[in-house]
Structure 1
Amino acid sequence: MTEEILEPELPIIDPHHHLWDLRPLVPAFPEPRHAFIEAIAGAAYYTFDELHADTHSGHNVVGTVFMECGAFYDASRADALKPVGEVEFVNGVAAQGASGLYGDYRPCAAIIGHADLTRGDGVRPVVEALLAAGNGRFKGIRHAGAWDADPEVLGPPFHAPEGLYAADSFREGFAAYADYGLTFDAWLLEPQLGDVLDLAKAFPDQQIVLDHCGTPLGIACYRGKQHERFDSW
């Protein structure tokens, strides 16, 4: 279904999208596959051409923000520094857009990467490498904390440890990260919202972006419970 574009001249920033090529990875996920894995298997790559097509469908998308998704990690680096490869790749896409060949459109004008905050103070060299790789476009990290006791809510690749945002090692890394004045993207589920609230209270000067509206749930053991859970969300 194609809908009428109501304000085609309105400048828009797409604040959260990914770039990836999952074709080499999809066969590696164990059987039976989670529904989300099956969904992404049908659209296993999304790179510059697909992004350009989506953002030029009639709306006036002038720029985008890339959100980390574990893609294009650098296999040659130590584990802590592998996510730098993702920022290097995305910065190249941003440079492609900044060339002017595609008009005033600026894809990936801001980049959100990943660093493992459970490394405590050891996260500093990772953040500094991400800043260097982003060439001014790197704006922050996301370290997802999504967890649920029901294995049907999240597939195996997306399970963070229970209570991650309260863990001493994570908070040590968060304190070190806060020194850089960057943003922090949090992704967790509606039943976990207290975890990010506690984190925000402990670090009131740190800017936190809550991804996916706090992820209200209506699947697996939460199916049919949206109405009763709405107030807590």
Structure 2
Amino acid sequence: MGTLPIIPRAEVRPQWLAPYREAPLEPDLPIIDPHHHLSDSLWGGYLQDDLLADLGSGHRIESTVFIQVGFGYRSDGPEHLRPVGETERVVAIAGRANAAQADTQVCAGIVGFADFSLGARVEETLHAHLDAAAGRFRGIRCHAAAHAQFQYGVMHAPPLHVYMDPKFREGYATLSRFGLTFDSWAYHTQLDELCDLARAFPGIPVVIDHIGVPLGVGPYAGQRDAVFAEWKRLLQKIAALPNVCIKLGGLGMSVFGFGFHLADRPPASAELARAWGPYILTCIEIFGPSRCMFESNFPVDKGTCSYQVLWNTFKRITAGMSADEKRLLYRDTAARFYRLA
């Protein structure tokens, strides 16, 4: 996999974003942001002050969920416990962020990483995360996004077909004993394998990150209609499993192939809504609002637009929906899935 061509990601460029501003739409709509990251170095660094600046952009963000990204791992000790350092760092950052302001409960939930290839021995890692998380730990994300023809993203590509590996599944099964959830980051070409995994363990709640990533790069460039049809078919199949939800977001990543980050100026929310709307509305049609949750995927999607513009985009797409549907999409589904007060 290491010799494959790498698809570059959309880099965060504050000076490119800065000149464009929008007034927040529906500023009183309560939101849980169930998917953001933190890092010392990735995306130019994204820590407490950066996150609070985005959260203060005019939308009513009540709480957030941190999602693993390989940040802050312990530098020594047993290898299988090093990812617990990420949980420890996030708890410390959340404490400072919540002491600095009262509008948003930052990192009310934490999703970390554990190496399921350890099989049942991964329980030690899960116990350590729970001990370190001060009541915030909610689940595990294992990055599976890999393709035979290219690499993409922040982390090294995992082995192909990792969700089908028997040892991985032995470790995955431990989630049910801890009452933890699973976040899946996989391409649309891997949704059949995720479907097989979710069906095999119906007691484990699963959320599909980034709408299942219908690819628009590499061999899929210029194939948008065909990819859309295949992605929709696969989502309809996996939506038959009641333990699976989906996150609406991530479309600012360059792997989707929209290319807004290549323009001379950042896009307006109306432009993004026209491009992203068919995908998001298809997800809502297939899963229903009670199994969909909007996500920022920040700062990754900050390579395409600001936090303010991102939520305006989502609000434009859902402008015709009822108040009850919006409550589910923007807050209640995430609150239920991640067990947030």
Which residue number in structure 1 is paired with residue 59 of structure 2?
59
CA deviations 1:149-193 (Å, max 9, x no partner) are 112x42583311111001010010011222111110011101111
1:183-202 maps to which residues of 2 (within 5 A)? 183-202=181-200
> How far 1:221 moved relative to its partner?
1.4
Contact 1:146 1:158 survives alignment (8 Å): no
Secondary structure of the equivalent of 1:157? Answer: coil
Q: Distance in 1 between matches of 2:221 and 2:95?
A: 44
CA deviations 1:103-152 (Å, max 9, x no partner) are 2321111100000111000100100000011010010110111110112x
> How far 1:98 moved relative to its partner?
3.5
Which residue number in structure 1 is paired with residue 102 of structure 2?
103
TM-score scaled by length of structure 2: 0.60
Q: Which consecutive segments of 4 or more residues in structure 1 shift more than 4 A?
A: none
Contact 1:122 1:173 survives alignment (8 Å): yes
Which residue number in structure 2 is paired with residue 2 of structure 1?
21
Which residue number in structure 2 is paired with residue 35 of structure 1?
none
Contact 1:123 1:177 survives alignment (8 Å): no
Q: Distance in 2 between matches of 1:175 and 1:98?
A: 34
Secondary structure of the equivalent of 2:126? Answer: helix
Secondary structure of the equivalent of 1:14? Answer: strand
Which residue number in structure 2 is paired with residue 13 of structure 1?
32
Secondary structure of the equivalent of 1:118? Answer: helix
Q: Distance in 2 between matches of 1:227 and 1:84?
A: 42
TM-score scaled by length of structure 1: 0.87
Structure 2 unaligned segments of length 5 or more: list them. 1-19, 232-341
CA deviations 1:45-64 (Å, max 9, x no partner) are 00000000001011111211
Q: Distance in 1 between matches of 2:122 and 2:73?
A: 17
Q: Distance in 2 between matches of 1:229 and 1:214?
A: 12
> How far 1:77 moved relative to its partner?
2.1
Which residue number in structure 2 is paired with residue 75 of structure 1?
75
Which residue number in structure 1 is paired with residue 213 of structure 2?
215
Provide the alpha-carbon RMSD of the alignment: 1.4
Larger relative contact order, structure 1 or 2 (CA cutoff 8 Å, min sep 6): 2
Contact 2:113 2:141 survives alignment (8 Å): yes
Contact 1:147 1:162 survives alignment (8 Å): yes
Q: Structure 1 residues 126 and 110, CA, compared in 2 at 3 Å: closer, same or farther?
A: same
Structure 1 unaligned segments of length 5 or more: list them. 23-39
Contact 2:61 2:103 survives alignment (8 Å): no
Higher relative helix content: 2
Contact 1:5 1:59 survives alignment (8 Å): yes
1:59-208 maps to which residues of 2 (within 5 A)? 59-99=59-99, 101-151=100-150, 153-154=151-152, 157-208=155-206
Which residue number in structure 2 is paired with residue 48 of structure 1?
48
Identity over the aligned pairs, expressed in percent?
Answer: 42
Counterpart residue identity of residue 125, structure 1: E
